[in-house]
Every structure is written in structure tokens, then in C-alpha cells.
Amino acid sequence: MRSLILALVPLSVGGCAAGPPPEQPLPRSAALATRLAPAVRVLDSLITTEQLAPGAVLAVTVGGERLVHGTGRLGLDDATIPDGGTLYDMASLTKVIALTTLAMMAVDEGRLNLDTPVAEYLPDFARGLGPKRDVLVRDLLLHDSGLPAHRRLWEETVVRNGAILRSVTSDLHAAPGREMVYSDLGAITLMAILEQLYHTRIDRLFDDRLAKPLGMVRSRFLPPGSWRRAIAPTEQDPWRGRMLHGEVHDENASRLGGVSGHAGLFSTADDLLKFVEWAKAAARREVTSPAAPSGFQSWTVTQDHPAGSSRGLGWDTPSGRSSSGTLMSALSFGHTGFTGTSIWIDPTRDIAIVLLTNRVHPTRNTPNFSLVRAAVADAVIRALWPDAEPREVAPRSR
């Protein structure tokens, strides 16, 4: 195990930057699959030898070339090798692929203002305890709103609207801007704002405004039963009393009818390559089709805010023992999902790395999984750029 997990060192990156520097050229002396063979061997060993997840799919896009590699098996009772068409529960990747992107679009259209108090969009928000009238939309994206990380909504209500109302009216545990607490309740609150602005549920917004334009034909909330054979199972869930297969793993998202801003999306590596290529081009200020929101790049860099964290607006950036590894640049951006998913995009090298697993199958108790994403990311970068140096250690702007 130790020989396969690459050592990670504490890292930190600075605040906002004007834009990515010119990309480092990628040698093209061999096919991408050949160059990435060492990284593929690392992933294969972590999955099939160390058995840190039943199966995985690695997808890399760099300089216009792609690689998709599946390893392991779909589930304990299904020896099918996953591939680019296998659907995985995205978990919190929903927050960036759907929620953050839709929020960007709303800002671009003038419907949403990041510096407007949340209570102006959702008057019920002010009902909770604490200085909730001071919480801005921006704070929801930065996870420094003061809202708690979580509450057991599935035990408190039986309907979607009830779960949303309980999220929106939650008491603050801290004053806004004081600290970064990664909050699913904040994501649900932002979803409620968007659904009110557009008078449309977030699954339909995602399908109409992003999935269809990008051709993400196998990405959706509430996948139909006919897709079940292509979906990787997740957990034997004690609350629902069954193995989850094609229904959202997150309990709160389930209580919201499988449709939420914090979790609920299912997708494939093939579809996510379309999304990350679009996002990578947008971050590099290239022309994209469909057109990306005009301020896309400003959302993906570390923000200078009082809580002083690695968060961009919705997105995360590398810091400390990051899931991005040690070699992706300080201007990289990405996110992870509890089920074992991640995407990381490095616009300076024109590369994006997608890793999909169902590490929660048959149980979420997989303590050794935490460094898998970083090990794979470092292996990919090292395979393509053998002389890559770890990111510089720099003080976090506060």
C-alpha cells in the first residue's frame, strides 16, 4: 500500500490570480495510452490488488487527446469491468457540475447577485437564529455562511418541500464569514434560490441548460430503471434497508426526492469528459460551445475572504493534503464526491482528470481510500511531465 500511495506534503496556494499562465507543452512522442501506462498501473493496483474500491474509471483529457480506462468490477455480485459508459453516483460533484454552473449562468443573466443577502431571495431564511440577514449568496458558495454542515433531514420530514424549508431555516452556528464549514445545507439553500428564480426544479434546469447543450446524454438525476445494469451500486443502506443501485446514496438527497443541489446527479466518464473539456476551455478564456458564463474563470480560483480557505466559488482549489495531489498547478480547480468520485482541471497544462469509483460499496467504511485520488492525480501528471515539481508552499491570503 505504502509503495503505491505517493507521499503528499502540506501545500498552500495564494489568492485570486488574473488568469492561468501559458500552458506547459506536452511531449507527443507516443500515444496517450502509452504515456499514461504507469498511471494506469497505479490505479489497477489500488483497485484490484489493494481493493480500495470495487471498480474505477479513470478519464483524462489533455491537449485534445483522451484516455478512458476502467478497472475492477461493477460490484460484489457483478464482475463486469466498468467503462466510460458506466454510471456512477456523483454525490457532491453535483455541487459543481450542476449547482455552481447553474448559479454562474444566473449571475451572467443578471438574475442572481452574489452580494445580495440570501433573505432577499428567500424571506424564510431569516427565520433561523443568528445574524442570518447578513448572509450573502456568495457565502453559500464559499461555505462560510455560518450554516452547519449537515442535519438529518430524512428523519425530520417526509416531503421535499419540508426538507428544503428545514435547511433554509436552520440556525447559524457561527457568524457569516468567520470560518469555512463545508455545508450541504448551504448548497440546498442555493438550490432553493435558483429554483425560485427560474420556477423550475434543478434537475430540469440542469438537463435543459447544460446536459443537452453539451451532449451529456447519460447524465441526469433519477436515472430510469432501464439504465440499472449500467449503474455501479453503492451501499447496503440501513435506513432504506436495501442495496442502493440506481438511487441516490445521500440520505438527505433521497428525502428531497433524489433531486438536490448538494447530491443526486448520476453521470459517466464519457459525459464528464465533455463537461471538463468545456470547463477547462472556459477557464482558459477560450471560445466554448455552448458559450460559458463570462466570469467562469473568476469562480475557479481561491477567493480572498475572511475565513481563509482553499475554496473558490463553489469549486475547490489545491491546498494541504489535497485530492488533486502535489503536482497539479496552484490554478487547478476541482471537487470530490463522498461516493468516491472526483474531477480536477489544470488549465495551465490543458489537462483534466476524472476519477469515478463506488468506494461506498457495499459499505462507506473504507478508511484507506482517502489518498487514492491524490495518488492517481500525481501518477497522471508524473507520467506526462516527468520533471513536474510540487506546487510551491505559499501563505494563504486571508
Which amino acid appears at position 337 of this protein? Answer: G
Structure confidence at residue 1 as a pLDDT band (50, 70, 90): very low
Q: Looking at the predicted structure, is the pLDDT value of residue 8 above 60?
A: no
C-alpha 176, offset from chain centre: 23
How large a percentage of the chain has pLDDT more than 70? 90
pTM of the model: 0.91
Domain limits, CATH 3.40.710.10, in the chain: 32-86+268-384
Report d(CA 236, CA 179) in Å as an integer.
34
The model's pLDDT over 160-198, given as tens digits with 9 standing for 90+, comes to 999 999 999 999 999 999 999 999 999 999 999 999 999
Instruction: Give, in order, the Cα–Cα distances in Å from 80 to each of 73, 86, 373.
Output: 5, 10, 22
Residue 321 has what pLDDT?
79
Q: What is the three-state SS of the chain?
A: CCCCCCCCCCCCCCCCCCCCCCCCCCCCCCCHHHHCHHHHHHHHHHHHHCCCCCEEEEEEEECCEEEEEEEECCECCECCCCCCCCEEECCCHHHHHHHHHHHHHHHHCCCCCCCCEHHHHCHHHHHCCCCHHHCEHHHHHHCCCCCCCCCCHHHHCCCHHHHHHHHHCCCCCCCCCCCCCCCHHHHHHHHHHHHHHHCCCHHHHHHHHHHHHHCCCCCEECCCHHHHHHECCCCEECCCCEECCCCCCCHHHHHCCCCCCCCCEEECHHHHHHHHHHHHHHHCCCCCCCCCCCCHHHHCCCCCCCCCCCECCCCECCCCCCCCCCCCCCCCEEEEECCCEEEEEECCCCEEEEEEECCCCCCCCCHHHHHHHHHHHHHHHHHHCCCCCCCCCCCCCC
Q: Looking at the predicted structure, is the pLDDT value of residue 287 above 50?
A: yes
Pair 59, 68: CB distance under 8 Å: yes
Superfamily covering domain 32-86+268-384: DD-peptidase/beta-lactamase superfamily (3.40.710.10)
State the helix-helix crossing angle for 372-384 and 37-44, rounded to 10 degrees: 160
Which amino acid appears at position 60 of this protein? Answer: V
The model's pLDDT over 255-285, given as tens digits with 9 standing for 90+, comes to 999 999 999 999 999 999 999 999 999 999 9
Residue 306 has what pLDDT?
64
31-60 as b/e: b if 16+ CB within 10 A: ebeebbeebbebbebbbeeeebbbbbbbbb
Residue 319 has what pLDDT?
87
Residue 24 has what pLDDT?
52
Residue 188 has what pLDDT?
98
Structure confidence at residue 6 as a pLDDT band (50, 70, 90): very low
In the block, residue with C-alpha cell 492561468: 20
Residue 291 has what pLDDT?
95
